[in-house]
Amino acid sequence: MPNKQIIDKIEKSLDKVRPMLQRDGGDIKLVDFDEKTGTVKVAMQGHCVGCAMAQQTLKQVIEAKLTEDVEEVKEVVI
């Protein structure tokens, strides 16, 4: 089971990008964090599902913010 402190930091970081996603009718949910690889798995929700820009938003906005805020995070995937 992932470290609760790291999960809390990831959730707080996601809360920073969530308003941008919600303005466009979307959202994001934390699915899992692999401490060995530093990989965060998320689920895109609402209008983000199937959006042509979702992958770009994931890498350029969400992954950038998470890796900046949480040193244990190395990658974010759907």
Strand partners, 75: 39
Domains of the chain plus CATH, in order, are 4-77 (3.30.300.130)
| Residues 7 and 73: beta-carbon distance below 8 Å | no
Compute the distance between CA of residue 78 and CA of residue 63 in angstroms, rounded to an integer.
11
Q: Which residues are within 8 A (CB) of 1 and not within 5 positions of it... i.e. 6 or more apart? A: none
pLDDT at position 6 is 96
Q: One digit per residue, pLDDT tens: the chain, 78 residues?
A: 569 999 999 999 999 999 999 998 999 999 999 999 999 999 999 988 888 888 888 889 999 999 999 999 999 998
Compute the distance between CA of residue 25 and CA of residue 74 in angstroms, rounded to an integer.
27
pLDDT at position 39 is 97
Strand partners, 44: 28
